[in-house]
Amino acid sequence: MDAIILQILNGLDKGSAYALIALGLTLIFGTLGVVNFAHGALFMIGAFCAVTLSRLLSLSHEVAVPGEVDFLGNPAMRDQPYAYDIFGEAWGAHIIDWAVPLSILFAIPVMILIGVIMERGLIKHFYKRPHADQILVTFGLAIVLQEIIKYYYGANPIPTPAPEAFTGSFDFGALIGFEANTIIYPYWRLVYFAFAAIVIGAVFAFLQFTTFGMVVRAGMADRETVGLLGINIDKRFTIMFGLAAAVAGLAGVMYTPINSPNYHMGMDFLVLSFVVVVVGGMGSLPGAVLAGFLLGILESFASMREVINIIPGINQVIIYLVAIVILLTRPRGLMGRKGVMED
Amino acid sequence: MFGLDKKDASLLLVVAALVVFAPFFLNPFPEASGWAQFNAGYPDLMQRFVIFGIFAIGFNILFGLTGYLSFGHAAFLGVGSYAAVWMFKLLSMNVIPAIILAVIAAGVFALIIGYVSLRRSGIYFSILTLAFAQMSFALAYSVLTPITGGETGLQLALDDPRILGGLSSSDGNIPVPGLFGLEMRDSSKLVLGGWVFTFNFGYYFSALIMLLSFYLSIRIFRSPFGMMLRAVKSNQQRLNYTGVNPRPYTLAAFVISGMYAGLAGGLMASMDPLAGAERMFWTASGEVVLMTILGGVGTLIGPVLGAGMIKYMENIISKINSDILHTWFAFLPDGLEDAVVAMIYPFIGKGWHLTLGIVFMLVVIFLPGGLVEGGQRLAGLFRRKKTDESKTATTEPAE
C-alpha cells in the first residue's frame, strides 16, 4: 500500500508538467486549430526566465569589508549583490533565495508577450495552410528558439535551487498514518503539484466563469458564428495563445529546481506532451489534464523494480505503448470531442 | 531510355554526372590555400551526401506522394544499420549480404509499424510513428543491449564468428567491409596542379546504389501506383467512395520508404561498421523531414538536393570560427569588422543549427516547394524576360 502511494506521489510531479504543457497545447489547438511544435520551447524559455531572474538578482559588485585588510594592506573586498543594497541584507538574502518562485511574476508578462508575438508574427499566417505546414514551421521555430537559448546560456544544465525552506524531504507516510520513513517525498515536488493544480484550476475558472472565457469557449465551438455576432474573436484567441504560452512557461519556471534546465529540455518534454494530448483527446482540456496525470503516474509505476523485473524496459516505453493502444482502440482519445481532427 | 521519358532521362543523367564528378567540383579550392578546409570532396562527407540522399528519396516516396508525415523514419535507418553490422559479425565482411539483410529487416519492421500506424492519418499518424520510433530508440538503448550494444553501440570484434569470411585481416586487425576483395575505404588520389582529388571506392559504390534508387523512385513516381499514391494525398475520401481501399497502397509506400531507409542504414554501416541507438532518435527523423522539405517535397530531385545541402552546411558552416570570419572581413575598418563578426558569429560554428532552423522556417513560409520551387521561380523569371510571355513555372503543390 505504501509503495503504491509512493509511486502515485512520484508520478505527480512529472504528471503535473505533462498536464500543464498538454493544457497549453490543447488551448492553442482548440482555439486556433494550430498544432504547435514550439510549445516545448516555450516550456524551456519559462525555465530560463527563472535562470535569468536568479542571475539578475545575484548580480553583485565589490565592496570593502570594514575593518579587514588583505595581505598587501589594501582593504579586503567581497562581492555584495545589488539586492542587498536595495532591500537590506536580510531581505536581500531572502529575495535571492526565493528567486525561483519570484520568477513566476517575471515569467508571466514575458511569456504572454512571447506568445502574442509568436501568434501575430508567425502562426497567424498558417491558419489556412495544412497541418503538416504548421507542424513544420513550428518545428523550425522550436529549433531556432532552442539554439538562441543555447547561444546565450551554453549547452550545460544550469542548476537553479529551490528556496531554502523547500529543500529536503518530509515524511509523508507518517502524516497519513503509515510507519515513519516509508513514504519520503521532497517538499518541492509537492509544491510543484500544488502549483500545477492552482494553475490548471485558474485556467478552467477563467474559461468557465468570466465573460472573456465564455466568448472564447463559444469561439472554440463555432468560430464563424461568434465572429458574425460582431465579436473580435481573433484578438481573444491571440490572448489565449499568450495565456497558453504563459502556462507552459510557468510549468518551466517551477520545474527548474527538479531538473536543472538545459536548452533541449523543451524538446524532451514536447514529444511526451504530444502523446499526452493525443491520449487525452485533441481539443479536450479536461482530457489533456487527466491524461497528463495518468501517464505521469503510470510511468512512475512502470519504473518500480518489481514491474521491471517482470517486463524489462517497460518504464521506457509505457507511455508510447499506452498511446498506441489508445489511438487504435479509442481514436478520439480519452475525452476527445466529436468532429475534432477525426481523421 | 530505361523506360523514362526524355525529361526524366535527362534528369537522371544530370544527377549521374553530378554524382560521378562530385570529387572534382566539391573540391574547388587548391590544397595549399586557406580555403581548403571548405572543400567538401573528402570521402566521409561525400558518402554521407549520397547515403542521406537515399534516405531522403525514400522519405519523399511516402511524404511527397501520399502526404503522410512520418516523424519516426530514423527507426528504419537504425534497424538497417543494426542488421548490416550483425551480418558483418556473423557472416562475412562482404557488403552485399549486409545490405540485403538491412533492406529486408527494415522492410519487415516498416510493415509492422506501418500496418498499425496507417490505421490513422494526419497528425495522429505522425504521433504514432513518433511513438514507435521513440519506443525502438528506448528499447535499443536499454533492454535490447545484447542485440544493439546499448549505449556503446554495436561494434565489430575480433572474436566474431564470421562464418564465410576471415576472422581477422592479414595484420591481425578487425577486417573492414568490402566488396569481393575491394575495401570500402580504398581511395586513390589524383594530384592536378595544386588540387588533390580523392576517389573513394565506398563513395562510388554508394553513389551507384543511390542512382539505382533514384531511378527506381522516378519509376515509382511515374507509375500507376504513384498516381494512386497521389490520389491518396489529394483526396482520400473520394478514393474511398469510388470503391478503392487506399490502405494497401499507403502501406506499400510506407514499406518501400522504410526499405529505402534501411538501405541507407545498411550503407552507413558498410562505410563505417558500427551502429548506435542515437541513429533512431527522433531528431534524426526530424533531420530527414528537414532535408525533404528544404529540397522540395514531392519533387524528384528535391530530397537529394536537400540532403546534400544540410550535410554540406553541417560540415562546412560548423567549421567556420571567429578567426576565419575576422580574416574575411579584414578589409573593413576595425570597429565595423568587430561588429560584423559579432553579428554573424551566432550563426556559424556551433550555431549552425540556428542557421538551419532559420533557413528551414523561411523555406516553409515563403517557398513551400523548397529549393526546387525556388529554382523554378528563378528560371521562370528569366524565361519571361527573354520571351516576354507569362509562362508559369510548373510547380508541384506540396503539402
Q: How many domains does chain A have?
A: 1
Cell readout for B92 is 562475412
Q: Least CB-CB distance to B122: which of A144, A150, A341?
A: A341
Whole-prediction pTM: 0.83
Nearest CA in chain B to A272: B131
A304: left (phi over 0), alpha (psi -120 to 50) or beta: beta
A139: domain CATH number?
1.10.3470
Letter for the amino acid at B131?
A
Task: Tell me the residue range of the domain where B143 lies.
Answer: 6-281
Task: Tell me the residue range of the domain where A219 lies.
Answer: 2-57+102-329
Nearest CA in chain B to A150: B351
**Is the model's pLDDT at B389 over the cut of 60?**
no
Asked whether the beta carbons of residue A324 and residue B126 sit closer than 8 angstroms, the reply is: no
Give per-residue burial for B53-64: e unless 16+ CB within 10 Å, then b. bbbbbbbbbbbb
Asked whether the beta carbons of residue A341 and residue B365 sit closer than 8 angstroms, the reply is: no
Q: pLDDT tens digits for A159-173?
A: 877 777 777 777 766
Which chain B residues contact residue A328 at CB under 8 A?
Answer: 116, 119-120
Nearest CA in chain A to B353: A147
Report which DSSP code applies to B139. H
Q: Least CB-CB distance to B121: which of A148, A275, A343?
A: A343
Report chain A's mean pLDDT, rounded to a whole number. 82
3-state secondary structure at position A78: strand
Q: pLDDT tens digits for B30-71?
A: 777 767 677 777 778 888 888 999 999 999 999 888 888 888
Say if CB A16 and CB A293 are below 8 A apart: yes
B99: domain CATH number?
1.10.3470
Mutate to test the interface with B, among A317, A325, A326, A328 (most CBs of B within 10 A): A317
Asked whether the beta carbons of residue A316 and residue B286 sit closer than 8 angstroms, the reply is: no
Q: Least CB-CB distance to A328: which of B116, B135, B143?
A: B116
Please give the interface size between A and B, counted as residue pairs whose CB atoms are below 8 Å apart.
112
CA distance A45 to chain B (A): 16
B92 falls within a domain: yes
pLDDT of residue B166: 66
CA distance A181 to chain B (A): 31
B331 falls within a domain: no
Reported as a pLDDT band with limits 50, 70 and 90, residue A235 is: confident
Closest CA to B174 of B198, B190, B157: B157
User: Directed axis angle between helix A39-57 and helix A265-280, to 10°?
Assistant: 140
**Phi, psi (rounded to 5 degrees) for A130:** -65, 160
**Is the model's pLDDT at B254 over the cut of 90?**
yes
B350 falls within a domain: no
B313 falls within a domain: no
Q: How many domains does chain B have?
A: 1
Closest CA to A277 of A289, A263, A262, A261: A289
CA distance A282 to chain B (A): 10
pLDDT of residue A126: 84
Q: What secondary structure does DSSP assign to B166-233, as a single string? A: -SS-TTSS----EETTEETT-EEEEEETTEEEEEEHHHHHHHHHHHHHHHHHHHHHHSHHHHHHHHHH
A88 falls within a domain: no
Mean pLDDT of B175-187: 73
CA distance B61 to chain A (A): 16
Asked whether the beta carbons of residue A143 and residue B368 sit closer than 8 angstroms, the reply is: no
Measured between alpha carbons, how far is A324 from B136 in angstroms, rounded to an integer? 13
B298: enclosing H helix or E strand: none
Say if CB A107 and CB A50 are below 8 A apart: yes
Measured between alpha carbons, how far is B279 from B271 in angstroms, rounded to an integer? 15
Say if CB A138 and CB A123 are below 8 A apart: yes
B64 falls within a domain: yes
B382 falls within a domain: no
Q: pLDDT tens digits for A65-106?
A: 777 777 777 777 777 777 777 777 777 777 777 878 888 888
B327 falls within a domain: no
